[in-house]
Amino acid sequence: MLRFLTAGESHGPALVVVIEGLPAGMPLSKKVIDHQLARRQSSFGRGQRMQIEKDRVEILSGVRKGLTLGSPLALLIRNLDWVNWKEVMSPEVEGIDPRKEEEQKLTRPRPGHADLPGGIKYRFTDFRNVLERASARETAARVAAGAVARALLEHLDCRIFSHVVQIGNVKARLKGGNYQEVATRAQESVVGCADPVASQEMVAAIKEAKENGDTLGGIFEVVCLGIPPGLGSHVHWDRRLDALLAAGLMSIPAVKGVEIGLGFRGAAVPGSEYHDPIYYSPEKGFYRTTNNAGGLEGGISNGEPLVLRAVVKPIPTLRCPLPSVDIVTREPVDAAFERSDVCVVPAAAVVGEAMVAWVLASAVLEKFGGDTFEELCHRWKEYLDDVRRF
pLDDT score recorded for residue 276: 96
Mean pLDDT for 34-57 is 80
Ranking 13-17, 97-101, 204-208 by mean pLDDT, the lowest is 97-101
Give the Cα separation of 102 and 24 in Å (integer): 50
What pTM, to 2 d.p., does this model score?
Answer: 0.94
Helix (DSSP H) and strand (DSSP E) numbers for the chain? 12, 17
Residue ranges of domains in the chain, CATH in brackets: 3-389 (3.60.150.10)
Q: Is the Cβ–Cβ distance between 373 and 25 less than 8 Å?
A: yes
pLDDT score recorded for residue 51: 60
Strand partners, 164: 220
- Where would I find the H helices in the chain? 30-41, 49-52, 98-103, 115-122, 128-134, 139-155, 179-187, 196-211, 241-250, 271-274, 345-368, 373-389
Strand partners, 209: none
Amino acid at position 349, single letter: A
Give the Cα separation of 2 and 212 in Å (integer): 45
Nearest-Å Rg of the Cα atoms of the chain is 22
CA distances from 142 to 72, 205, 369 (A): 16, 28, 23
Give the Cα separation of 140 and 38 in Å (integer): 10
Q: Is the Cβ–Cβ distance between 365 and 23 less than 8 Å?
A: yes
93 band by pLDDT with thresholds 50, 70 and 90: confident
165 band by pLDDT with thresholds 50, 70 and 90: very high
Residue 264 per-residue DSSP state: G
CA distances from 130 to 6, 14, 34, 111, 280 (A): 16, 17, 28, 14, 54
264-311 pLDDT, tens digit per residue, is: 999 999 999 999 999 999 888 899 999 999 999 999 999 999 999 999
230 band by pLDDT with thresholds 50, 70 and 90: very high
Residue 372 per-residue DSSP state: B
